[in-house]
Amino acid sequence: MLKRLKIQQRNRKREPANEFKSIRNQDKDQSENPLRNLANDELFSEAASTISSLNDFTEEHTRSTSQPKESSLPSSQNVISKKPDASLELPSSFVQTHSLNLNVDDHHRGPSLCIAVIGATGELARKKIFPALFALYYSGFLPENVGIFGYSRKNLTDEDLRSLIASTLTCRIDHEQNCEDKMDAFLSRTYYLNGGYDNKEGMSKLNARMEQIEEGYRANRIFYLSVPQEALLDVASSLANNAQTKKGWNRIIIEKPFGFDALSSQWFTKSLLSNFEEKQIYRIDHLLGRNLIENLTVLRFSNLVFEPLWSRTYIRNVQVLLSEDLGMQSGRYFDGYGVIRDIVHSHMLQTIALLAMEPPISLDGEDIRNEKVKVLRSIRKLDPSDVILGQYKATSGERVDVSLSSLTPTFFAAALYIDNGRWDGVPFLIKAGVGLIKHRVEIRIQFNHVPGNLYRERFRHNTDLATNELILRDVPDEAILVKINNKIPGLGLQLDASELNLLYKDKYNVEVPDSYEHLLLDVIDGDNHLFLRSDELAAAWSILTPVLQEIDRNNIAPELYELGGRGPVGAYYLWAKHGVRWADD
């Protein structure tokens, strides 16, 4: 026993990184599995007492061997021959229950991970979730002892699921070597079970199947709920009661939209929290997994050149733009929620929160979310006159859904104001729409004019031409651009507005991972800063619910615009009202 304890101590010294990682996740493991925690506290207390006794025993024999003894054997042989008191041995219950704790190989292997995709035969699962899991697998971000499970109501076999998703799996350019072997290895770890969404027996079978491949005393589980909103609470309840592990943490991922308005979202959240703790819930919006969003905090808080300028003193306005050049291929889902609930509620408001928040005390997810919710709660109530709604008009000959309700907006623009000391009076203009002239996703930050600009005559007194601008672009061609004024080379004094350009495809010769890869890895790591907490959810709904109620109460029809056009004319009156020109036109 002593020998095994010494081996374990030496391994701890050799691997400080593993120990640090364990300490880092200790709070999450403890809070997400209180039953295991209580049992471990009692057993480890017993073990600690025993180890203390062993230390006393060692010290006693060290003292005894330093003094002369009446014996014909050398002192070293005396020590070896003498047996420790039986009362100092580890309790048999502890050895039996926690023998794996003292097994060096199991310590190196780490906990197993099971990931279950509920709704595995749906389009989102086939085209996004399974390919993202495969990319994490061949990139080495999933543990060796991982199991991928598909669950749905269809009666399929393991091989049926593997055939279904195999055609969607590809390797990025930097991982093309032996891609087929990696694919075969991944598919061999993929399993299928069928059952109803609220089926206790089906979820129990899922639990039993997971236990078959889980090895060791530590096992973690992730459940991705890729199901319709109306089925989500039934699935969550059934999972909570029948499929959670007691040997590690459990986390669930749910897709937007998170409710229909403030009241439904509140009820939805309350029901969800009756089965899971807040820290177990990851509300995912794939648009928040884009590199542009992750780069916001890096740009602000690691560059001294930007942070001092990040306030109303220097910034004139902020624009958050998201436009799709395609219409909706199927209006069934979109017709029920529209662009406000689908895009504005989570993606647009979360982008503003990350952009405008105060510096968090750390990069911990909870600290970042604390600052985001302060921004959302500070946003002024929306004036209906500051909101523009639009809907594209299409003919039956165009490859889009033409059956949208006459009240379903496919375009939304608004002017938001944040009533706090940093941003008082600065308009945040947001514009989101589908069926527009081009696909564009970017944030544009326009700075104030230079007071008493000495070169105003060179710009024909049009100070807008001389406006400095920071552009964070995701589509097309991810880039960071800074617009400055400079002199054109040559004789005379001619000025020009130029762009300092960091184009990612030129600077970094890498293929950017999909946003689902990014967010799934965050869930595995327990990093929740890009996922909405329930109080963020409520704050966002409090901003938009009055607008939604106004639309429904007064049957406000959106302004029509041509499919493939620039959007409704009202959007241009909006920027004129707030003295801001849409920078993407």
Q: Which residues are catalytic?
A: 347
Contacts of 225 (CB under 8 A, 6+ apart): 118, 119, 232, 235, 236, 252, 253, 254, 255
Structure tokens at 551: 């639309």
Closest by Cα among 388, 219, 387, 403 to 327: 403
| Element of type H or E holding 202 | helix 200-213
Q: Give dist(CA 522, CA 57) in Å, integer.
A: 47
Q: Give dist(CA 58, CA 64) in Å, integer.
A: 10
Cα 327 → chain centroid: 27
Closest by Cα among 327, 330, 345, 323 to 262: 345
| Element of type H or E holding 443 | strand 440-447
Residue with tokens 């007691």: 246
Per DSSP, the chain holds a count of helices (H) and strands (E) of: 22, 15
Neighbour tally for 514: CB within 10 Å: 17
Phi, psi of 517 (to 5 degrees): -60, -50
CB under 8 A, 24+ apart: contacts of 498-501? 499/471
Q: Give dist(CA 223, CA 144) in Å, integer.
A: 19
Neighbour tally for 542: CB within 10 Å: 15
What angle do helix axes 365-378 and 534-554 make, rounded to 10 degrees? 30
Residue with tokens 């050049």: 325
Neighbour tally for 10: CB within 10 Å: 11
Helix/strand/coil (H, E, C) string of 282-335?
EEECHHHHCHHHHHHHHHHHCCCCCHHHCCCCCEEEEEEEEECCCCCCCHHHHH
Q: Give dist(CA 385, CA 212) in Å, integer.
A: 60
Structure tokens at 98: 């926690």
Q: Give dist(CA 284, CA 124) in Å, integer.
A: 13
Residue 529's SS3 state is: coil
Are the C-beta atoms of residues 418 and 380 closer than 8 Å to each other?
Answer: yes
Phi, psi of 76 (to 5 degrees): -65, -35
Strand ranges (DSSP E) for 198-269?
Answer: 219-225, 250-255
Q: First and final CA of the chain: distance in angstroms? A: 75
